[in-house]
Structure 1
Amino acid sequence: MLEQKLKSPKFFKSISIVKFLPLILLIIALFNSYFIVIEGHVGVVKRFGEAKGQENPGLHFKIPFIETVEMIEVRTRKNAEKMASSTKEQMPVTVEVSVNWTVNKEAALDLFKRYGGLTQFEQRILDPRFRSATKDTIPQFEAEQLIQDRASAIQGIERRLAEEMEGFPVVVDNIQIENIILPQKYINSIEIKQTEKNLAAAEEHKLERQRLEALRAVNTADARAKGILKIAEAEAQSILLKGKAEAQAIDAKAKALKNNPLIVKLTEAQAWDGKLPSTMMGEGVMPIMDIRDKSESN
Structure 2
Amino acid sequence: MSLNALSSNQTVTNKLKFGSSIVFAIIAISIVFSSVYTVEEGHVGIVKRFGEAKYQENPGLHFKLPFIDSVEPIEVRTRKNAEKMASSTKEQMPVTIAVSVNWTVDKNAALDLFRKYGGLVQFEQRILDPRFRSATKDTIPRYEAEQLIQDRALAIQGIEQRLIEEMESFPVVVDNIQIENIELPAKYIQSIEIKQTEKNLAAAEEHKLERQRLEALREVNTADAKAQGIIKVAEAEAKAIVLKGQAEATAIEAKAKALHNNPLIVSLTEAQNWDGKLPSTIMGEGSLPILDMRKN
TM-score normalised by the chain length of structure 2: 0.86
Instruction: State the secondary structure of the residue aligned to 2:134.
Output: helix
Q: Deviations over 1:124-162 (max 9, x none)?
A: 000001110111111111111112221121111111111
2:116 is aligned, of 114, 117, 121, to 114
Asked if the contact 1:48–1:66 (Cα under 8 Å) also holds between the matched residues in 2, the reply is yes
Q: Aligned-pair distance for 1:273?
A: 3.2
1:234 is aligned, of 233, 236, 258, to 236
Equivalent positions of 1:65-144 (< 5 A) are: 65-144=67-146
In the superposition, relative to structure 1, how do residues 274 and 131 fare at CA in structure 2: closer, same or farther (>3 Å)? same
Match of 1:257 in 2: 259
Deviates more, 1:247-256 or 1:82-91: 247-256
Instruction: State the secondary structure of the residue aligned to 2:101.
Output: strand
Q: Deviations over 1:193-250 (max 9, x none)?
A: 1111111111111111111111111111111122122222222222222222222212
Matched, 1:194 2:189: no
- For residues 63 and 280 of structure 2, the distance between their equivalents in structure 1, rounded to whole angstroms, comes to 158
Match of 2:50 in 1: 48
1:270 is aligned, of 269, 272, 288, to 272
- For residues 198 and 122 of structure 1, the distance between their equivalents in structure 2, rounded to whole angstroms, comes to 46
Seq. identity, %:
77
Q: Aligned-pair distance for 1:177?
A: 1.0
TM-score normalised by the chain length of structure 1: 0.85
- For residues 286 and 36 of structure 2, the distance between their equivalents in structure 1, rounded to whole angstroms, comes to 164
Asked if the contact 1:133–1:157 (Cα under 8 Å) also holds between the matched residues in 2, the reply is yes
Match of 2:287 in 1: 292
CA-based RMSD of the aligned residues comes to 2.2
Match of 1:225 in 2: 227
Q: Deviations over 1:161-201 (max 9, x none)?
A: 11111211111121111111111111111111111111111
Match of 1:284 in 2: none
Q: Aligned-pair distance for 1:265?
A: 2.1
Instruction: State the secondary structure of the residue aligned to 1:179.
Output: strand
Asked if the contact 1:42–1:108 (Cα under 8 Å) also holds between the matched residues in 2, the reply is yes
- For residues 131 and 285 of structure 2, the distance between their equivalents in structure 1, rounded to whole angstroms, comes to 144
Match of 2:4 in 1: none
- For residues 266 and 229 of structure 1, the distance between their equivalents in structure 2, rounded to whole angstroms, comes to 47
In the superposition, relative to structure 1, how do residues 41 and 262 fare at CA in structure 2: closer, same or farther (>3 Å)? same
Aligned length: 273
- For residues 141 and 46 of structure 1, the distance between their equivalents in structure 2, rounded to whole angstroms, comes to 48
- For residues 189 and 211 of structure 2, the distance between their equivalents in structure 1, rounded to whole angstroms, comes to 33
- For residues 38 and 107 of structure 1, the distance between their equivalents in structure 2, rounded to whole angstroms, comes to 18
In the superposition, relative to structure 1, how do residues 208 and 279 fare at CA in structure 2: closer, same or farther (>3 Å)? closer
Query: Could you tell me which amino acid in structure 1 is paired with residue 54 of structure 2?
Result: K
Matched, 1:176 2:178: yes
Asked if the contact 1:279–1:291 (Cα under 8 Å) also holds between the matched residues in 2, the reply is no
Unaligned segments of structure 2, at least 5 residues? 1-14, 289-296
Instruction: State the secondary structure of the residue aligned to 2:41.
Output: coil
- For residues 127 and 31 of structure 2, the distance between their equivalents in structure 1, rounded to whole angstroms, comes to 38
